[in-house]
Amino acid sequence: MEKNKKYLDLILYPNCSLTIKSLIFLSLLFTTLSFFISLYFITNGAWPVGVFLFIDLLIILLAFKINFRRAQMYERIIIAEKILIKKNNFRGRERVIKIEPSWLRLKVYCNNNSGHLEIISKGKSQIIGNYLNITELKKLAKEIKKALIVREKELLLNF
């Protein structure tokens, strides 16, 4: 068995509805609309409406920022000698988890149309893919199982 051979290398991203261009477009659209509607109400003497529209605009822009930051997170699964799971959260911090693949169990948990994949080894569990739907989770579990089978066959042949 080669020392650094990878049997599987996957990167999981959450499903993202907005690209950066569409996010900028919507932000500019809401800002422009809020400005002109606020200007209309302020010139007609209803200045509190302008203040509340500005507050609404700030809340919408904050929600867009949170959505964009959450879309930056990902999980990377590498199956080699050991299983490496690299989790990058929405703040950009990376956490690396090493799992021994010899005594590995995979469980797919489902709740409505969402769920997660739990990787269990030596009594410790690691949850991945909690933003994937059920069909994607089952496909992911099959890919991991295939890679583990190939790894074990190669280990047995080289023993």
Q: What DSSP line would sit under 122-158, residue for residue?
A: TTEEEEE-TTSBHHHHHHHHHHHHHHHHHHHHHHHHT
HSE-CB of 119 using CA atoms within 13 angstroms:
25
The predicted pLDDT at position 1 comes to 47
CB 75 within 8 A of CB 128: yes
pLDDT digits (tens, 9 = 90+) for 133-147: 888 889 999 999 999
The pTM of the full predicted model, rounded to 2 decimals, is 0.74
pLDDT digits (tens, 9 = 90+) for 37-89: 999 999 999 989 989 999 999 999 999 888 888 888 889 999 988 888 999 88
pLDDT digits (tens, 9 = 90+) for 97-136: 888 887 888 888 888 777 888 888 888 888 888 888 888 8
Give the contacts of 65 (CB within 8 A, at least 6 positions apart). Answer: none
Distance of CA 121 to the CA centre of its chain: 23
**DSSP assigned state of 100:** -
pLDDT digits (tens, 9 = 90+) for 19-30: 889 889 999 999
Q: Nearest Cα to 9, choosing from 95, 94, 92, 77?
A: 77
The predicted pLDDT at position 159 comes to 64
